[in-house]
Amino acid sequence: MQLRFQDFDDFVVFFKPNGIRMHQVDDGHFGFVEAVSQKLAAPLYIVHRLDKETSGLVLFAKNKDSASLLSELFEDHLIQKTYFFLTDRKPDEKFYLVKSHIEKKQNRFVNTPGLPPNSETLLEYVQPAGDFHLWKAIPKSGKPHQIRLHAESMNIPILGDPEHGGAPWFRLCLHASRLNFTLHGKSYSFESEIPPSFKKPDPLMIRNLLDDAFFNRSELFHLEKHDSFRLLHLEFKDLRVDIFNDHLWVYDYSANGLTHLQQTQIQNFANDQHLHSVIRHMLDRGQGVGGLEQTTLQQSTPETTWHAFEEKIQYVLKTNSGFSPGLFLDQRENRQWIRKMALDKNVLNLFSYTSGFSVAAALGGAQQVTSVDASKKFLEWSKENFKANALSSEKYEFFAQDCMLFLKGAQKRHRTWNLIICDPPSFGRSQDSIWKIEKNLGELAHLIWNCLAVNGQLLFTCNYEKWTRHELIAEFSKNLPHGKFKLDRLPLLSLDFGETDDTQNLMKGFLLTRLS
C-alpha cells in the first residue's frame, strides 16, 4: 500500500496513528520514522515529537541542514501547533491559560509547584461531544506531556490518560490537528481532521474503535477499493480485524465470544463501509482446526469464496478452509521483498499454504518456483491463486509432501535453490509425521542449508510464541557452519500492523545469506 504524505523540498508531513512510537529505542523496537523511511527508501530526520499514544500531524526533515533549521523553529516556538482533546469532566470555564514548571521525577513527568514556569498552554472549550467535552489546546512551549499535565491541573484530564488523572478509554484522546509556520519566506499550513471518536464518543467503544482504526489507515495510506489490510491489530486485546476487498474478517480471541451487542456494532460498521462481515471465534492456536471452520463462525456470508488484492496481486480467499481466509497480511512486506529478489532465481517455498510467496516470486520473474506443502487441498488452492494472476500452474512445481521428506530427497539429488522461503507452523500433523518446531527446527535448518546455493538467501519466519527472535535465530543457526552465513533483519512490518516490536509481534524471523 502506498503511504499518504505531503512532500516538499526540505520536509515531509505525515499522519501518525495513535499507538506507534516516534522512533527506534533499541535493536528490537522500531518506530514510525524507521518504517516510513524504509518505505520511501530515504533517510528522514526527527525535528519534533508526538507521544506514542497521540495521533496527528508530524513533520520530518529530509536532510541535516533542514533538520537543523526546522528544529530551531520548533525550539523558538515559531511553529504553531494546535491539538484537540476529549475529557469526561464538565468545564468550569471556557478558557484557561496554564503555566507551570514541568520536570521528570522517578520516570514520570510532573508539574512542580513553586518553581518558575517553563511551559505554557492555552486551553479553549470547543463543544460538547455526547456525554464528553471537546477542547482545543495551543501549546506555547514544547515540554513532554505538557498538554496532558496542563489539562489535568485544570481538572479536565484527557480521556484515556490514566497516568494524568483521565478516565479509562480505548485510546488517549489527544490529536495533533494543525501545524502553521514560515520557512524560507513561504507560509505553510497543514490540518488533520479530528478522529471520528472525538465527534461521537460511544461508551460501548467497539464502534469507536473500528471507526478510528479505519480513519487511521485512511489517513496513513492511499487505500484502493480492492485492497487488503489489517484494520485492528493491538488496539483491542481480544480482537484482530482484517479487510479483504469487500469483506471484514474478524478474529475473536475472547474466551466466550463476542456479545450480541458487540456483534451488532461490528455489523453496523461493516454495513456503513459496504463490507460483508465474517466473525470467527478463534480456538487455541497450534491445536489445529479439526473441522470446526463452520461451527466457530459467529457471522458469515452466503458465498464461501471471493477475491482480494494485495499490492496488485490477486488472491482467492475462502470462509470454509481453515481459521484464516487464505492470506496472512503480516507477511505483506516479506512477499514484496521476495518479488523484488526473485528475478531469474530458482525459488523454493516450504510449508507453502496457499502459496502467496510463490505467486509473488513468479510475478517477480523467477526462473522456477517450487511450492511444497503436506496438504493437497492447499496446493490446489495455490493453483487457483496462480490462475487468478494469469500464471499457468503447469510451468511451476507443486509437491504435496512432508517438507522434511522433500528436503531429504532434494539433498540426495543434490538439488539447490537460490531463494528459499520457510514459514513453518508451530505444530503440524501429516500422514507421515508430527511436526513440532521446538523439536524439529535443528534438523530443518540443516536440510535447508544443504539445499541453499552459495550466495543464496533464506527468508525464515514463524509464530512460535515461546521463543523470542534472538532465541529463534540461536536455535536455527547453532548447528550451521560458523562464519559461512550472514544474518539480516526482515523488512519492517507495514504500519497497519503498528510498530515493529520484537516483544509484541507474533511473527518473528530473519534473512540468511549463505556465503560459501
Q: Torsion-angle region of residue 371: left (phi > 0), alpha (psi -120 to 50) or beta?
A: beta
Question: What is the rounded end-to-end Cα distance, in angstroms, of the chain?
Answer: 36
Q: What are the φ/ψ torsions at residue 390 (nearest 5 degrees)?
A: 60, 35
| Contact between 118 and 139 (Cβ < 8 Å) | no
- Four-residue CA torsion sign, 276, 295, 326, 438: positive
Nearest to 458 by CA among 338, 367, 328: 338
CB 175, CB 54: distance < 8 Å:
yes
Contacts of 328 (CB under 8 A, 6+ apart): 356
Q: Which residue has the cell 517477480?
A: 364
Residues labelled catalytic: 51
Q: Indicate the SS3 state at residue 201.
A: coil
Q: In DSSP terms, which residues pair with 486 in a beta bridge?
A: 513
* Residue 482 vs residues 67, 333, 515: alpha-carbon distances, Å: 43, 29, 11
HEC readout, 337-369: HHHHHCCCCEEEEECCCCCHHHHHHHHCCCCEE
- State the burial class of residue 374 (Cβ atoms within 10 Å of its Cβ: 0-12, 13-18, 19+): buried
Q: How far is CA 404 from CA 185, 401, 427, 442, in A?
A: 66, 8, 14, 11
Q: In the 8-state DSSP scheme, what is residue 151?
A: H
Helices 356-363 and 332-341, axial angle in degrees (round to 10): 30
Would you say 330 and 233 are in contact if contact means Cβ atoms under 8 Å apart?
Answer: no
3-state secondary structure of 240: strand
Helix (H) or strand (E) holding 397: strand 397-400
DSSP β-ladder status, 95-100 and 119-129:
antiparallel
Q: With 0-12 CB in 10 A as exposed, 13-18 as middle and 19+ as buried, what is 163?
A: middle
Q: Which residue has the cell 463501509?
A: 273
Burial string for 362-373 (b: 16+ CB within 10 Å, else e) reads bbbebebbbbbb
